[in-house]
Amino acid sequence: MNILLLGSGGREHAFAWKIVNSQNCSKLFVAPGNAGTASIATNIPISPTDFDALADFVLDNKIEMLVVGPEEPLVKGIVDFFQNHPKLNSLPVIGPSEIGARLEGSKDFSKQFMQKHGIPTASYGTFTKENITEGLEYLKNHSLPIVLKADGLAAGKGVLICQSHDEAATIFKEMLLEKKFGEASSKVVVEQFLNGIELSIFVATDGKDYRILPEAKDYKRIGENDTGLNTGGMGAVSPVPFADKVFLQKVEDRIVRPTIKGLEEDGIFYTGFLFIGLMNIEGEPYVIEYNVRMGDPETEAVLPRIKSDFVDLLYAIGTKNLSSYKIEIQDFTSTTIVMVAGGYPEDYKKGNQIAGLDKAGKGNKSIIFHAGTKLGESGEILTNGGRVMAITGIGHDLEAALVNAYQTVSEICWDDLYFRRDIGQDILELNK
């Protein structure tokens, strides 16, 4: 099967790695890809949001399945575009429709959906600049801390936790009046703070049936001990010890099943992956957010644990045949450490040469995934983003997986690199 994968991050390199290891993949193209995908597939210089150019490529290269990695093309309606294309409407496209993608594209839409279908989540209010006075009054009477969320996509940085009413009011005004996150914050969701342990659940669905993939915990803050600014994610661990069978059954009964059923009841076409950000509060699950694709860096920790054929899974989703797919999970721990450019998530430099990749990870159980990388003119590998590499270590337990991951991290270098040294330490403490 000829497959086209969209995206250029660590998640997409992990997808590509899994796809090319399937006997059902004849040829894999990645648009636009990175230096990592270039080593195992064919990169093509087309933007994931240039739908017309993608359609031409699909026709010219006899593509038989389109896999969408990032959220932006989904929110912009790529699935609807192909469904309405006269020559490509039978192409399996892995991802939800534009309205389904609003579960991630609009925080307000997703909160209304949860409320309608009785899915446990934090209480909230939604405001625009037209009712900013009402919003400021709502903040004044709100318990601390206060969570402010930009309604639209903000690259994982649109959620702020405020420790005082003054701070909340200032940021609230910046978001609505000064467009702190551009159009994404033209509407702001004010939310109750949920105090518990965060984790992520991943679901594959064909719109009717679903399969639950391994869970993961990610680390969003730039600084150790979860300090500093929010990022797209600095590390991940899978499985999560505090997500036991009892808890995961509650998640399936109260959240996963009502979500899939709710989408169907609302007439929302949804195939692909659903990433549910959860809070475990004394053993009870609450939804923090929906994402309409796999997480990054969680994907790099989760996919190595899936033993069954990944292309079979994708094709079963795309052809609405998931009921016949059996998922097999490997019984080991994987941990992912994200290596970033100094200055991220704010200003950072691109174009630094990365050294050590040819020898890194040879002596242990680890996988090197590229994120923000590109090939230089002489074939050297250069930094090309904030999050540059994602290193996944595998082990019989968390400690062994961390040793393998950090060993490989220590073998890779470039000017001004940074990574967190405490990924997984909170779980090791819990296990004591």
What pLDDT digit, counting tens, does each position of 377-408 carry?
999 999 999 999 999 999 999 999 999 999 99
Predicted confidence at residue 100, as pLDDT, reads: 98
> Cβ distance 134 to 125 under 8 Å?
no
Q: How far apart (Å, rounded) are the C-alpha atoms in residues 275 and 296? A: 10
Within-domain flag for 352: yes
Q: What is the model's pLDDT at position 224?
A: 97
The two beta strands, 93-94 and 124-128, are: unpaired
- Say whether both 231 and 365 belong to one domain: yes
CB-CB contact of 1 with 26 (8 Å): yes
Here the tokens at position 249 are 């059954």
Are 415 and 300 contained in the same domain?
Answer: yes
Laid out side by side, the sheet with 210-212 consists of 210-212, 197-205, 272-281, 284-291
Rounded average pLDDT over 57-61: 98
pLDDT of residue 261: 98
CATH at residue 9: 3.40.50.20
Q: Which residues pair with 418 in a beta bridge?
A: 340
Cβ-proximal residues to 426 (8 Å cutoff; 6+ apart), any chain: none
pLDDT for the residue numbered 364: 84
Answer whether 64's CB lies under 8 Å from 3's CB. Answer: yes
Percent of the chain with pLDDT over 90: 95
For residue 159 the two structure tokens come to: 């959620």
Asked if residue 33 is part of any domain, the answer here is yes
Task: Look at residues 38, 59, 87 and tell me which one is the last residue of a structural domain.
Answer: 87
**Same structural domain for residues 305 and 340?**
yes
Q: How far apart are CA 53 and CA 286, in angstroms?
A: 41
The per-residue pLDDT for range 297-325, each reduced to its tens digit, is 999 999 999 999 999 999 999 999 999 99
Strand 284-291 with 417-418, pairing: unpaired
| pLDDT per residue as tens digits for the range 107-147 | 999 999 999 999 999 999 999 999 999 999 999 999 999 99
Backbone angles phi, psi at 14, to 5 degrees: -65, -45
**pLDDT of 89-106, one tens digit each?**
999 999 999 999 999 999
- 53: domain range? 2-87
Confidence of residue 351 (pLDDT cuts 50, 70, 90): very high
pLDDT beyond 90 at 421: yes
Assign 419 a pLDDT band (cuts: 50, 70, 90). Answer: very high
**In the chain, what percentage of residues exceed pLDDT 70?**
100
Q: What is the pLDDT of residue 287?
A: 98
Helix (H, G, I), strand (E, B) or coil at 29: strand
pLDDT value of residue 230: 85
**Confidence (pLDDT) at 363:** 80
Looking at every residue in the chain, the average pLDDT score rounds to: 97
- Examine the domain organization and report whether 268 and 240 are in the same domain: yes
Same domain for 167 and 207, yes or no, is no
To the nearest 10°, the Cα dihedral for 353, 354, 359, 362? Answer: -160
Confidence category of residue 430, pLDDT binned at 50, 70, 90: confident
- Whether 24 shows a pLDDT value over 90: the answer reads yes
Same domain assignment for residues 230 and 361: yes
> Looking at the predicted structure, is the pLDDT value of residue 155 above 90?
no
Assess if residue 418 is contained within a domain: yes
Let me know whether 398 and 285 are in one domain.
Answer: yes
Of 157, 192, 227, which residue sits at a domain end? 192
pLDDT of residue 135: 97
Q: Rounded to two decimals, what is the model's pTM?
A: 0.94
| Co-location of 353 and 269 in the same domain | yes
* Cα distance between residue 39 and residue 379, in whole Å: 11
Distance CA 118, CA 322 (A): 26
Cα–chain-centroid distance for residue 231?
Answer: 12
* Cα–Cα distance measured from residue 88 to residue 305, given in angstroms and rounded to the nearest whole number: 33
Same domain, 10 and 148: no
Question: Are the C-beta atoms of residues 257 and 223 closer than 8 Å to each other?
Answer: no
Query: What confidence score (pLDDT) does residue 383 get?
Result: 99
70 and 151 share a domain?
A: no
Q: What is the DSSP letter of 226?
A: T
Count of CA atoms in the C-beta half-sphere (13 A) of 286: 18
Q: Domain boundary residue among 68, 87, 106? A: 87
Question: Does 150 lie in the same domain as 270?
Answer: no
Give the pair of three-digit tokens for residue 136: 């400021």
